[in-house]
Amino acid sequence: MPRELHAFLSLVAQDDNLGDLVIRRRVFDLADASVHRLHVLIDDMPRDFLEPFRLDSRQNVSVYTNPRGFSRAMLAQAIRQRAILVLSPGPEHIRRGVLGGVQLVAQIGRTLVLRSLGARVVAIGRSVLGRKRSGVLAAASRLSAALSNVYFARDHFSVNLLASKSVRYAPDVAFSEGTSSELLIDSKDIAAFSFRAEGMPTDDQFRIMAASVREHGLKPVLVSQVRRDDEVHRQLSTAASCDALLWGERSHAEQLDAVMKTYDTSRLVISNRLHALILGAVQRAIPVPFSRQNGAKTVETLSPVLVVDRLEPDLSNIEDVIAKALAEDKVESTMQGVRIAAGSVATAAAELFVYRAASR
């Protein structure tokens, strides 16, 4: 008789970030389809953020607002050798100082206890932020990953940094979001832009960017995937006299729907936000990272599955980059990459939600 597996996943995240919502929803759906019961920690996350998970209608999902109750349930299933702890997708910061050390020690201690009881600890869609390869915190981060049964990192930098047999590469889980785009390429007339404040273009630079896409017959539109980006986009839209899809008072579900519809009508997405680029690609828009270096998170995460041309912050290569992005064969090659990435995510996920006695 198959073992009744119980997966444990925290939905606690930045509550103003659609990228964080999407990657957690994808892991949530993968786990929900694979285990007998899914246990989720929501703590004090706002109802708006949780609405897309449809928790009230899920018969096999247990919801916890208290971390202690979540931990007790996990230990109870671990003793029965039925628990699978799914580490939250997204970046893990290697933070200096006492707080970073305490967090890593706590994570290592929890993993050791769970593994000793017979539970599995798994991850998908993870990455490491922080370039320091040596030192106590980097070593502790490697140990934490090595103690996991299966750990899929979303970029090769993280795989190389963590350097463990349990750590392998699989694309970001957002690639498996699934497209709703049915428009012909000739019907896509928007160039979408999305920027975080750190590394955003100046007003003069954005006027150049807007003018460049207009010369190709595209309409520039600024898109807020993160609520706090509204201020940045309001400023840039005024500078370049273009439209902006601000978050404003919309709910998370409403803004996500509006963002995906905008990407559906976009030929390009130019951004320094990773999930703006990935969700744009899912909707058959060409992702163009706006970053200062090839080693940036956006480029590292996209380049294993997509051929991307980075737009330099000084815009010295803007004409060449946009011309390449609008080439006739670019859409098909991008969609082929997205399909391969989605398939790789599904293959990786199939390894997570199983029990192997030998893995203890």
* pLDDT tens profile 12-26: 999 999 999 999 999
Identify the burial level of 124 via C-beta atoms within 10 angstroms of its C-beta, where 0-12 means exposed, 13-18 middle and 19 or more buried.
buried
pLDDT over 50 at 113, yes or no: yes
Out of 3.10.310.40, 3.30.300.30, 3.30.465.10, 3.40.50.2000, the CATH code matching 185-337 is: 3.40.50.2000
Span 47-68, average pLDDT = 95
Show the DSSP H helices in the chain as ranges: 18-32, 47-50, 67-79, 97-117, 136-146, 156-162, 203-215, 230-240, 252-264, 274-282, 297-302, 318-325, 330-352
- Based on its alpha-carbon atoms, the radius of gyration of the chain, rounded to whole angstroms, reads 21
The CB-side HSE value for 326 (13 A sphere, CA atoms) comes to 20
Question: Out of 3.40.50.2000, 1.10.10.60, 3.20.20.70, 2.30.33.40, which CATH number does the structure's domain 6-176+342-359 have?
Answer: 3.40.50.2000
**CATH topology identical between 6-176+342-359 and 185-337:** yes
Output the CA angle 74-36-151, nearest 5 degrees.
60
pTM confidence score: 0.93
Residue 99: the pLDDT is: 62
Does position 266 have pLDDT exceeding 90, yes or no? Answer: yes
pLDDT in tens, 284-311: 999 999 987 766 789 999 999 999 999 9
**pLDDT tops 90 at residue 178:** no
How far is Cα 252 from Cα 14, in angstroms, rounded to an integer? 12
Q: Which pLDDT does position 1 carry in this prediction?
A: 42
User: Given pLDDT bands bounded at 50, 70 and 90, which one contains residue 141?
Assistant: confident
Please measure the distance between the N-terminal and C-terminal CA atoms of the chain and give it in whole angstroms: 20
pLDDT confidence bin for 108, thresholds 50/70/90: confident
In the predicted structure, residue 182 carries a pLDDT above the cut 90: no
**pLDDT tens per residue, range 245-255:** 999 999 999 99
- Model confidence at 226, in pLDDT bands (50, 70, 90)? very high
- In the chain, pLDDT over 90 holds for what percent of residues? 78
**Domain ranges for the chain:** 6-176+342-359, 185-337
Residue 187 pLDDT grade (very low, low, confident, very high; cuts 50, 70, 90): confident
Q: What average pLDDT does this structure show over 161-175? A: 94
Which own/partner pairs from 162-165 qualify as long-range (CB within 8 Å, at least 24 positions apart)? 162/128
pLDDT score for 135: 65
For residue 9, what pLDDT band results from cuts at 50, 70 and 90?
Answer: very high
Confidence band, pLDDT 50/70/90 cuts, at residue 137: low
